[in-house]
Structure 1
Amino acid sequence: MDLDHTLRPAAERVKQSAVVSALIVAALWIIEALDVLTHHAIDAVASLKAWEVSDLWSIFTMPFAHYGWAHLEANSALLLPLGFVLALSGLAVLARVTFIVTCTSGLAAWLLSPPYTAVAGASGVVFGWLTYLIVRGFWTRRWPEVVVGLVLAVVYGSVLWGVLPQSTHVSWQGHLGGAIGGVLAAKLVSDRRASSG
């Protein structure tokens, strides 16, 4: 067996995952810098306004806007490692899971938040990625994914308390929607992966 030939694809995937994860987070920091430079014009346009039907499209822009550097820093600390682990499954899986959790977290924030509340941030995506990675192994029956899920549950599981009602300045509604979306994505994306071999 040519060990170098066997390890090279794995090494390339790890490198690609690291780059993709870093680029996602870097893009959010660039957007926040532009938001500051434009006196928070991006927040005004990209944030989601609860119960406003005409603003439903903001479900897809909300994750890109953050209310300050501390808000972005908190999300980045989880987006970077979780994005890396998720990207190891391939860019198509990353895209599908992200689309599902973006929709569910945004819809939950729009529907469950007090009327006309402005919501922004990628934390719904964070919760979706985390729950997806924790539970996907139960759908795929692949022991490496089960192990990864258990490790992530131990390391980051306490984060999931954020789905419960708390401070009015935290969108637990978006967190809850993202977490539900992660479980849904684990079922849908895992089934697709199984059918494609």
Structure 2
Amino acid sequence: MAGFVGFLYVVEVFDVATGSSLEDDGVRPRDFSEWDNLLWMPLIHGDWSHLTGNAVPLLLLGFLATSGGLKQFFQITAVIWLSSALGVWVFGSPGSHIGASGLVFGFLAFLLVRGIFARSWLQLVIAVGVFALYGAALWGVLPGQPGVSWEGHLFGAIGGVLAAWGVSRDNRRSTTPATFTA
């Protein structure tokens, strides 16, 4: 996570050095000419405070989300990343949507519901701690603050729930012995 967040700072240095040239490369809802921007959205931030506001929770929540191993972490990150970007592309308000907050909300939702799907007391205890730290942020999935992509937050959170469901389903499948019928 530290490497990824460090990379986000490198991208912001480049953006500042080029006169904020990257900020128009976010997701533009329903614009077929810029599909590749679905991949760049979480990497681009409006300014240093925007990046720092995402960096701290991204470090903590992303680190906690790695508890299932790196392969699982990359899988849940892909689900959250694409859910957030595609959700913004289909349902977002006009303008360029940028920032890693979709990942933050996705990791938050993943950590909050993973214990329910997995039926794990330890993961439920972790969820309570995560909720105590970041539960108030959940209001960010609702419209309200101009210039903030609540759509990215909402669809990132939906991606986190989908990822938690998928991980628990795969874990149950791998621990259930296979049965064969003739």
After TM superposition, the score normalised by the length of structure 2 is 0.91
* Residue 129 (1) aligns with residue 113 (2): no
Root mean square deviation of aligned Cα = 1.2
Structure 2 counterpart SS, 1:41: coil
- How many Å apart are 1:91 and its aligned residue? 0.7
What's the CA shift for 1:168?
2.2
Opposite residue 90 of structure 2, the aligned amino acid is L
Which residue identity lines up with residue 169 of structure 2 in the other structure? D
Aligned to 1:63: 42
Aligned to 2:120: 142
Percentage identity across paired residues of the two chains: 39
Find the counterpart in structure 1 of residue 58 from structure 2.
79
Q: Which residue of 2 aligns with 1:30?
A: 10
The structure 1 segments of at least 4 consecutive aligned residues displaced by more than 6 Å after TM superposition are none
> Which residue of 29, 34, 39 maps to 1:50?
29
Distance in 1 between the 2:127 and 2:139 partners?
17
Give the residue type in structure 1 aligned to 2:118: T
Look up the equivalent residue of 2:165 and give its one-letter code.
K
Q: 1:183 aligns with which of 146, 154, 161?
A: 161
Map of 1:153 onto structure 2: 131
* CA-to-aligned-CA distance 1:142-189 (integer Å, 9 cap, x gap): 211111011111211100100011122000011010111111111012
TM-score with structure 1 setting the length = 0.85
How far apart are residue 135 of structure 1 and its match?
0.4
Stretches of structure 1 that go unaligned for 5 or more consecutive residues are 1-20
> For 1:98-150, what per-residue CA distance to the aligned partner results, in whole angstroms no more than 9, with x for missing partners?
111111111221222223x1110000010000000110011111211111011
Report the more deviating stretch, 119-128 or 102-111. Answer: 102-111
